[in-house]
Amino acid sequence: MVFNSYTFVLFFAVLLALHNMPFSWKTKKINLLGASYLFYALWNPPFILLLWLSTIVDFYMAKLISITEDKTRRRMWLAVSLVLNLGMLSYFKYGGFLLENFTMLMNSLGIAFEAAKPDIILPVGISFYTFVTLSYTIDVYKRKFAPESSFLDFALFVTYFPHLVAGPIVRPEDLIPQFKQPKKATGQQFMWGIFLLTLGLFLKVVIADGWLSETSDLIFGLPFPVNPLDAWSAVLAFSGQIFCDFSGYSTCAIGVSLCLGFKLPENFRYPYAAVGFSDFWRRWHITLSTWLRDYLYIPLGGNRAGRFQTYINLMITMLLGGLWHGASWNFVIWGGLHGLFLCIERLIKRNPKKAGVAATEAEEVVLQATVIPVRRNNISVLLRVLLTFFLLNVTWVFFRSPDFGTAIRMLLCMFGVITQGPKMLTTPDMLKVAIVTVGLLVCHWNMRERSVKGLFQSMPWWLFGTLWGIMLILIVLTQKSTGSFIYFQF
């Protein structure tokens, strides 16, 4: 089930009615848990078994970790959780990729080897709920908090449907405490939640799918070079598409959750106004970047083991972050480019100690959730924003391309090395991409230190209502041409 479907409208209406009935709080939580399983089961019912297995094992492993004082036994229980979760993720997401590369390696060594193509279906959202459960057992192991005593609350934390299949990636402290007391949206929360759901659907249905997807899909799907303008139009179209698609999902998830009385963490903060790549990762997929920081980058040593090791830690973090997105060398290259740009950026930054600031772990340059404000009237800052956006589009080529050859061909076309390709896009196609691109950049630049809620609360009621109505009309008119969210495949 997807947010941009009429099935979801019916599902959500029934759930809201049940949630506002005079039932006990435990009954309402059971209703939410059952609805979450139904939401997920409509994709592929057997994969519910994976959710159950992960939920049960992590719940009891955390309890064993908590009551055990022996370090060896605690590590063993943690290892059970890690092996189960990462094992499932590796098999379903990377099994075919590993077998394919092993076959290529054997053949390159002169060993004739051919394996049957594995028939593996990727469970929707497995990358997201794996990170959710891993954060729980790791934090219990670190004695950050005691294990959850209520299996119902823990199961609901793992499977809560708004975040289940595409984030935000929640931590135990984000949701479990909210399940302890009865929650019901106030009138203001409900109204704002419905508006956020509308805004998210507008980003997804109207802009990502209605205006941009066809251009991106057409050019990236061609087996031959194209005109440089067409190549740039396709890349810019995907740049806008993936932001509107993914941030649209997160906005829908936050809005849906707010209608039920629960708050989910922010996941995007106008990333195309980023001043450099460290700032980009403070703004793009924030819950993933902070997860990678806390559970990978800092445990590797962060910036505590010297400059060279810091660069190594950055590269490892971003390479694995790229691989998390998909079983393809293109994603590894995408992550590697981000790691390279982060290293270069860190290399040219002034040593914080020279400015009288101690470089502590809490002040890591990369993968933080704190936005650094800048003066919007500073021309040099604006130029750095545009340079960052330019380099981001270079990395998006590898993220979007179906294979390495397509990515290289697109880059050669973009930078004029290949100029003889046919012109495939019409002027209206390119004009739509240009309008969305400029609109996104202007919006992100002006909103980089503001909030959506603050903006709309400052509007006259009639203007707010008019914009809301226009979005609803456009969603209904465009709905027939929309598809699943991009991040469902990750």
Which of the residues are catalytic?
325
CB contact at 8 A, 118 and 96: yes
Tokens of 417: 């090395």
- Number of helices and strands in the chain (H, E): 21, 0
* Upstream peptide bond of 352 is cis (omega within 30 degrees of 0): no
C-alpha 65/C-alpha 57 separation (Å) is 12
Tokens matching residue 101: 């590369």
Distance between first and last Cα of the chain: 16
Residue 485 Cα distances to 144, 228, 409, angstroms: 34, 28, 26
Q: C-alpha 58: how far from its chain's center?
A: 23
Residue 49, exposed/middle/buried by CB under 10 A (0-12, 13-18, 19+)? Answer: exposed
Sequence-distant (6+) residues with CB within 8 A of 412 are 225, 418
Q: Residue 298 is encoded by which pair of tokens?
A: 């800092």
123 secondary structure, DSSP code = P
